Amino acid sequence: MAVTYEEFADSRLSALLRYAVMLTGDPNTAEDLVQETMLRVQLHWWRVARSDSPDAYVRKILTNQFIESRRSSWWRRVLLRADPDPVVASSTDHAAETAERDRVWALLAGLPRGQRAALVLRYYEDLPDREIAEILGCAVGTVRSSISRGLDALRAELVEAR
């Protein structure tokens, strides 16, 4: 076991936090998710350490936890945050642009978690289908269809909104 938990946490924690923020859309929820994940990782460190890629393994744990946690009010929080932004109609281009981006974010929040995770892994983490499938524990074909369905949904909503 070359890597210790400490070394892993030192080198990977920032990246995990970024990933968690993209998944959850909220820094506080992301912190909770990462904390919960890292506690589990410590509990089972020997098993994590002997896996082919501790990093991928931990990402998988975090992703599963995100997909499975029902209580999380992430989407509600995001929607609530997106809602009181009818300042959308405000005057400056900048505000409009910001609102437009928030719109993407809010739409993302409305997608099923598995699709969201697939989109984050593809368009934020830039991972190939095979690795995404590994993390999500599904077939490569499923990853592709999740991503394309996710994109379709976003596209449709955005077009409708415009």
Partner 1 sequence: MSNIEEELRAAFERQEAVVPEAGSVRSRIDLAWVGVKRRRAKRRAFGAAAAVVLVAAAVPVVTTFAWHGGQPGQEDTVVANSATSAPPLVTDAAPIDVLLIGGDHRAGAKTPRADTIVLLHLPADRSAGWMVSLPRSGLVDVPGKGRQKLATTLALGGEQLTARTVEALTGVDLDAAVVVDYAAWRGITRAVGGIDMCLDQAIPPQDGRAGLAEGCQRIDGDDVSPLLQGQAGLKQASIDRDRNAQRFLAALAKKLAADGTATSPVRINQLLAAAGGGLVYDGNMPMLLRAAAQLKTSELIGLGEPVFTSTADGEIVDSAQWKSLYQAIRDDRLAKWAAANPSFVND
Give the interface with partner 1 as residue ranges (CB under 8 A). Answer: 9, 13-14, 17-18, 21-22, 25, 27, 30-31, 34-35, 38-44, 46-48, 50, 60-61, 64-65, 101, 104-105, 108, 119-120, 123-124, 151, 154-155, 158
Name which of 109, 123, 120, 121 is nearest 153 in CA terms: 109
CB of 35 to partner 1, least distance (A): 5
Cα separation of 113 and 67, whole Å? 5
Residue type, 37: T
Cα separation of 77 and 69, whole Å? 15
Cβ closer to partner 1: 41 or 127? 41
Name which of 48, 56, 58, 67 is nearest 127 in CA terms: 56
Cβ closer to partner 1: 87 or 158? 158
Quick check: helix, strand or coil at residue 162? Answer: coil
CB of 114 to partner 1, least distance (A): 16
Cβ closer to partner 1: 32 or 142? 32
CB of 134 to partner 1, least distance (A): 11
Note whether 76 and 29 are within 8 A (CB). Answer: no
CB of 131 to partner 1, least distance (A): 16
